[in-house]
Amino acid sequence: MISKPISIYGKDLKLTAGLKDYAQKKMDKLLKYGVNILETKVELRFSESGRKHGRAFYAEVTMQLPKKILRVSEKNADIFAAIDAVETKLRKQIRKYKTRFTLDRGEIRAAKEMVSSE
């Protein structure tokens, strides 16, 4: 498993060391799934959009894997809750990706065994 560094940046938001560490720890949790992550970008931003929607924090993550790009976005009044929600969504997507990738490799392995036994 090869993993590149995680890029974390803020937009219209002061990115404190604590916030950056929190996001880093959440993204590091995803490494336990054993997927080859080529690149991860985390964007944290603040938006104050009128009366109806009010103030909100956004957490967006783009993760590049060998055969797929995963992109997740979450909006919440609390930046930490938005990061937690993004991590949960990414975990589900990585499991789905890994299941498909493992099945593909398993089918290939089975086909090679059939050919070698003949």
Alpha-carbon distance of 87 to 60, in angstroms, equals: 10
Host domain of residue 33:
6-117
- For 100-113, the pLDDT digits (tens) are 776 655 555 555 56
- For 93-102, the pLDDT digits (tens) are 998 888 877 6
pLDDT of residue 106: 55
Whole-number average pLDDT of the chain:
83
The residues, ordered by sequence, that sit 6+ positions from 83 with a Cβ below 8 Å of its Cβ are: 22, 23, 26, 44, 59, 74
Structurally, how many domains does the chain consist of?
Answer: 1
- Record the pTM: 0.78
- The residue whose two tokens read 């990061």 is 83
| Structural domain contains residue 90 | yes
pLDDT of residue 51: 62
* Tokens linked to 23: 């996001």
- For 59-80, the pLDDT digits (tens) are 999 999 888 899 999 999 999 9
| Structural domain contains residue 1 | no
| Structural domain contains residue 99 | yes
